[in-house]
Every structure is written in C-alpha cells, then in structure tokens.
Structure 1
Amino acid sequence: MADGAAPKRHTLRVTSPQLKELRLLKIAVLHPDDADGRQLTQQLQRIGCQVQVFWPPVQVLPEGIDVAFMAVQPDFINLRFEWAHSEDAPAIIAVVTYENPTIVEAVLEIGAKAVLPSPVRSFGLLSALVVAREAHKESRSLARRLRKVEAKLLGVRQLTEAKAVLMKTHNVSEGQAYDLIREQAMSKRTTMEEIAAAIVNASEILSLGVHKAGQG
C-alpha cells in the first residue's frame, strides 16, 4: 500500500444462494452502544445487511424485521417482549455476556434460535445468523403444518357431529347425512367443513334456546 493511501474496506464474500439472501435481511440490534454492540453492527453491515440499532430494548419492532440480535442482560430479563412471541416474530439471536441459570432461562423465554457469546467476534457471527435463520424457517413451517392438521381434525370432528345431528333430526342414515352435507356444500360453493360447522352451531343454538325455555 502506498504511503498515505486509504485502507481498502473489505466486505465478506458471500457466494451461495442461501448466504446471498443474507444481504437482503433487515436486522434489529437490541444492544447497548458498547464495544460488543459496535462490533456486531459493523460485522452485520460488512455482510451487507440493513441494520437498525435500539437500546434500551423496544416493545415494538419496525415492520419487516427478519432477525433480531438481543443482548440478554439482568436488567431486562424479566420484561416480556410481545413481538418475540408473535406469529410473525423475527429469528432471535441472543447475545450473552455470561452464563447462569437465570440468563439461560431468559434466552429460552425469548425463543432464541442461536446464541452469540460476548465478547463479540467476527468468527461465529455468520454461522449463528445462518443457523438461526434456518431454524426459524423450519419452526414456522412446522407451526403452519400443525395449524393445518388441527384445522383438518376440527373439520373431521365437526363433520362427524353434523352427521349425528342430521341423523337424529331428519331420521336418516349416516351415508344419507353425509350426502346432504355434500349437496349443500356443492350448491353453496363452499366446503363440507363449513356446512358441518354451520349445522353444529345451529344445533347448539337451538339446544340452548330449548334449555332456557325449559328453565323458564
């Protein structure tokens, strides 16, 4: 390097598609403005991430945050951060200065997908970011599949109950009750589950009305 020449600014070379998408990430850094906080912010900016810094920890994050690095410190471990438990919560990486049962419990409470130890170094940061992102994606995928399974099971239960209601009120067989529900779904251009839920709800309302009338 020639005397007086400005040092070149090096950026991390990210090659694979999985790593290239890191440059598009919006990241919140919830960390004090100390050596660790500055090192963390600088390294994330070197990767190419869009970084916003907050301290003290905020109760509401800006929309569209993909990853949140959060300093887990004794002064804030008893606070509940609703954004960390929301359906669209970002992947959370805990930054810890030391380990004890209270800190570990706090890391679990916020749902951290990875842990970054202090003092923060460039080594390990990229791995923590990638691992947290992948674990977060898998977790959200499993949650979506679980909701679909629960909805399917609810639909099956309501269909069974709806058939029982029709069999009792219309004196028809189980197959005939099924056909009635299917015909209604086709005519109204909706699902059998929706028709079944409507039948069950109507039956419960009528039963409640009869019960109240009997009490009167």
Structure 2
Amino acid sequence: MSEAAWKSGDDRAPGTRKSILQELAGLDVAVVAPRDDQGSFLMREMQRLRLRARQVWPLPESVPCDADIVYCEYSPDLARRLPWIPGDARAALVVILPAGEPVDADALAHATPDAVLARPFNANSVVASLVLARSQFRYEQRLRAKVERLDENLRSMRTVERAKAILMATRRMPEDEAYGFIRRQAMDRRVSASAVASAIVDSFELLGYDQHL
C-alpha cells in the first residue's frame, strides 16, 4: 500500500473520517508464522478484517519488508533478520510470542516491535495488536519526520550564519545588512534564504578563501 494510502483518514473532516477498522482495510500484511491452527486463524482474521495478507514460512533470513505490517514469529535472533536498523523501520512489526517457551527480553527489545501477540491468541487480541502496531508505527513516522525537519532547519540556519560571516568579512557589511542582502537576493530570485546562503558559501569555498570565516 502506498504511503499516501497508509496515512489516509488523518485530514478528513470529523463527519467523514473512517473508523480505525476501516482504515486497516486494504493494508498489506506479511504473516511470518508456522502453518498451524493459530497461523491459519491469524490469516482468517486478516481476511475477515479485509487486509491483504500473505503467509511466509519457514522463518526467512531476512523478514519481508514489502508490507505495511509484519507479523513475525519470535526468534532469539529476530533483530538480525530485520531488513532495517533500529529506529528506521520500514513496516510496523508485531512479534508473535510462544505459548510456553521463555522469551529473551533483551532479544525482544532489540527487535523493537510496535506490538506483540501472545499465543494462544483470539480475535480481540489480533485486532488490538493491529491497532497498536499501526498507531505506534505512524507515531514514530511523525517523530522521525519532525526530527528531519528540525535537522534541515538547523542546517539552513548554520548556512545562513556562515554566509553572513562571509559577507561581513569580504564586503565589510554589518550583520543586519548582510542578512538583509541575503533576504533581498532570495526574494528577487524567488528562492529560500538558505539557497542563497548556500550559493554564497559554495562560491566562497570554491575560490579557496579562509575556511575559518
């Protein structure tokens, strides 16, 4: 499912906003679990909720990531099998916990799941895991996007400050005048101030002037 579809529903007016279960419908789900009674039950629940589900078993070396949500059987080395680094997941992850076997808490933490589903599970626990995993994953996506915007803003501010320092040193401009020059150039060219600042810095460095300015 596309990212746009994944995020659908957020901007609708209250009267037309879909329910959580309606938003779940149509998501792609990879179920990495044995083809036993519980695995079959999980697949039926996915179909009942109108999700596009496929089952994968045995546990592959690399867990599928071409899905919106991945249900994966617990394994002590699960973190190694995930095709992403912690904090940069490409799909919501639900770890299926064994019924009577001990779980390595550290191994589970390293996999950083968005939700867990403990065997034996029922319809309610399946729905709960879906809702929690989707909500948690989207929340983390929003946080990452916010951090990226903050990083970009910080880089832009640093570039503008560097360009100001260059203008102050090479054109003997006071700080306010240097910033005003950057702003005017940006408005004249209909680009951002950071784009003008980057051009000033690049030109200055290309000519090999003092890098300590």
Please say whether Structure 1 and Structure 2 have the same fold, judged by a TM-score greater than 0.5: yes
Give 2:196's aligned residue: 195
Give the CA deviation at 1:106. 3.0
CA 1:201–1:109: 2 relative to 1, 3 Å: farther
- TM-score, with normalisation over the residues of structure 1? 0.77
2:124 is paired with a residue whose SS is: coil
- TM-score, with normalisation over the residues of structure 2? 0.78
- Ranges in structure 1 where 5+ consecutive residues have no aligned partner: 1-15, 212-216
1:61 is paired with a residue whose SS is: coil
For each residue in 1:10-30, what CA deviation from the matched residue of structure 2 results, as whole angstroms up to 9, or x when unmatched?
Answer: xxxxxx712212222111111
Moved more, 76-85 or 148-157: 76-85
Give the CA deviation at 1:85. 5.4
Give 1:73's aligned residue: 75
Determine if contact 1:66/1:90 at 8 Å carries over to the other structure: yes
Give 1:180's aligned residue: 181
- The within-5 A match list for 1:32-47 is 32-47=34-49
- The within-5 A match list for 1:89-100 is 89-97=90-98, 98-100=101-103
2:121 is paired with a residue whose SS is: coil
Give 2:134's aligned residue: 133
How much identity, in percent, do the aligned residues show? 28
Give 1:168's aligned residue: 169
- Ranges in structure 2 where 5+ consecutive residues have no aligned partner: 1-17
Give 1:59's aligned residue: 62
Determine if contact 1:84/1:110 at 8 Å carries over to the other structure: no
Aligned-residue Cα RMSD (Å) equals 2.5
Give 1:49's aligned residue: 51
Give the CA deviation at 1:80. 3.7
1:140 is paired with a residue whose SS is: helix
Give 1:6's aligned residue: none
Determine if contact 1:23/1:48 at 8 Å carries over to the other structure: yes
Give the CA deviation at 1:148. 0.9
Letter paired with 1:21:
E
Letter paired with 2:21:
L
2:60 is paired with a residue whose SS is: coil
Count of matched residue pairs: 191
